Amino acid sequence: MKTQVAIIGGGPAGLLLGHLLRAAGIDCLIVERQSRTHVEGRIRAGVLETVTTDLLRQLGIDARLDSEGLVEAGFNLATDDQVIRIDIAKLTGRHVTVYGQTELTRDLIDAAPGRGLDIVFEAADVAIHGIDGDAPFVTWTKDGVAQRADCEYVAGCDGFHGPSRRAIGPGAEFERVYPFGWLGILSDVPPCHDELIYANTRDGFALASMRSKTRSRYYIQVPVDTPLADWPEERLWDELERRFAPLATRPVVRGPALEISIAPLRSYVFETMRRGRLFLAGDSAHIVPPTGAKGLNLAASDVAYLAEALIAATTRGDASGIDGYQARALSRIWKAERFSWYLTKLMHRFPEDGSFEHRMQVAEIDYVANSVAMQTAIAENYVGLPL
Ligand X SMILES: Cc1cc2nc3c(=O)[nH]c(=O)nc-3n(C[C@H](O)[C@H](O)[C@H](O)COP(=O)(O)OP(=O)(O)OC[C@H]3O[C@@H](n4cnc5c(N)ncnc54)[C@H](O)[C@@H]3O)c2cc1C
Residues that bind ligand X (CB under 6 A): 8-14, 31-34, 39, 44-46, 101, 123, 126, 157-159, 161-163, 263, 282-283, 290, 293-296, 299
Burial 240-259 (b: 16+ CB within 10 A, else e): beebbeebbeeebebbeeee
Give the SS3 label for residue 6: strand
- Distance CA(199)–CA(218), nearest Å, equals 11
Burial 82-106 (b: 16+ CB within 10 A, else e): ebbbbebeebbebbbbbbbbbbbbb
Residue (of 33, 24, 184, 2) closest to 14 by Cα position: 33
CB of 366 to ligand X, least distance (A): 27
Name which of 9 and 136 has its Cβ closer to ligand X. 9
CB of 59 to ligand X, least distance (A): 16
CB of 174 to ligand X, least distance (A): 17
Q: Where are the beta strands (DSSP E) in 237-373?
A: 257-270, 274-275, 278-280, 286-287
CB of 72 to ligand X, least distance (A): 14
Name which of 136 and 290 has its Cβ closer to ligand X. 290
CB of 161 to ligand X, least distance (A): 6
- Distance CA(51)–CA(95), nearest Å, equals 11
Name which of 121 and 358 has its Cβ closer to ligand X. 121
Give the SS3 label for residue 261: strand
State which amino acid sits at residue 365.
Answer: I
State which amino acid sits at residue 324.
Answer: G
Name which of 182 and 244 has its Cβ closer to ligand X. 182
Name which of 74 and 295 has its Cβ closer to ligand X. 295
Q: Are 378 and 91 in contact (CB under 8 A)?
A: no
Name which of 299 and 313 has its Cβ closer to ligand X. 299
CB of 92 to ligand X, least distance (A): 18
Residue (of 31, 20, 60, 19) closest to 125 by Cα position: 31
Name which of 25 and 186 has its Cβ closer to ligand X. 186
Report the length, in residues, of the chain. Answer: 387
Q: Are 103 and 247 in contact (CB under 8 A)?
A: no
CB of 358 to ligand X, least distance (A): 25
- Distance CA(26)–CA(58), nearest Å, equals 16
Name which of 13 and 189 has its Cβ closer to ligand X. 13
Tell me the H-state helices in the chain: 12-23, 36-41, 50-59, 63-68, 88-92, 101-111, 163-168, 233-244, 295-316, 320-347, 355-370, 372-382
CB of 371 to ligand X, least distance (A): 26
Name which of 18 and 162 has its Cβ closer to ligand X. 162
CB of 48 to ligand X, least distance (A): 9
Give the SS3 label for residue 71: strand
Q: What angle do helix axes 101-111 and 50-59 make, rounded to 10 degrees?
A: 20
